[in-house]
A and B are shown apart, each in its own frame.
Chain A
Amino acid sequence: AQKVTQAQTEISVVEKEDVTLDCVYETRDTTYYLFWYKQPPSGELVFLIRRNSFDEQNEISGRYSWNFQKSTSSFNFTITASQVVDSAVYFCALSLDNNDMRFGAGTRLTVKP
């Protein structure tokens, strides 16, 4: 069965701290995609990054970075020098080629000034 686990329900940090959001997935498929989405307090869902199962290159985009490790079935997300505007719920998602899409339960990040 396909599953995504985000073990951290809530995280609270002070502005400028670094924070890592964990994502562990389960699937027997060899072809899949992983995504991160952000849901700010306004409620909309915003796409952040996509990674396919054959590309283990880490990625950095400004203050955001992602670490994909197939050996541990993890796709973790790090925010460097966090800001108040980073406060949101972050979802990790697993997508298979049969259109089965599974989201994690989300991690609520609060960045305090």
Chain B
Amino acid sequence: NAGVTQTPKFQVLKTGQSMTLQCAQDMNHEYMSWYRQDPGMGLRLIHYSVGAGITDQGEVPNGYNVSRSTTEDFPLRLLSAAPSQTSVYFCASSYTGGYNQPQHFGDGTRLSIL
């Protein structure tokens, strides 16, 4: 049982480039979410999904897009990378209900924008 798998683990981009951070879970969880972790600020919710075909914005959605075509996958897209998006990104999933369930986190993707 792999849990939540994020790829890549590390990535360096140039300003203006685009890329997709991949997230997959094998627990049949309905709720999935993306966070960014910055020093001194904890984790901040970027986007979340309560099921396939349904996504919504979190606290800091600007500059990011998501889609949820399957229960298992929840990719995060950076359309035009900016240095302010340098961060560690975590994907998480939980059972139906999301807000009242413990979240299972991936190992994170460390992203640097030059």
Contacts and interface: CB of A to CB of B under 8 A. Distances in A.
Contacts of B59: 100, 102
B43 A99 contact: no
Interface residues on B, range: 20 to 34
Contacts of A104: 42
Contacts of B45: 100-102
A44 B105 contact: yes
B48 A99 contact: yes
Interface string A92-113: 0101111111111110000000
Given A45-B90, A47-B102, A103 B44 contact: yes
B108 A91 contact: no
Contacts of B5: none
The 9 closest A-B pairs by CB, nearest first: A103-B42, A47-B102, A45-B105, A103-B43, A95-B99, A105-B42, A33-B100, A101-B45, A99-B99
Interface of A: 4, 6, 9, 33, 35, 43-47, 50, 52, 91, 93, 95-106
Given A44-B107, A44-B108, 9 more contacts: A6-B42, A43-B107, A45-B92, A45-B105, A47-B103, A93-B43, A95-B99, A100-B59, A102-B45
25 contacts: A33-B100, A35-B102, A45-B43, A45-B90, A45-B92, A45-B103, A45-B105, A47-B103, A50-B100, A91-B42, A93-B43, A95-B99, A95-B100, A97-B100, A99-B48, A99-B98, A100-B58, A100-B59, A101-B48, A101-B58, A102-B45, A102-B59, A103-B35, A103-B43, A105-B41
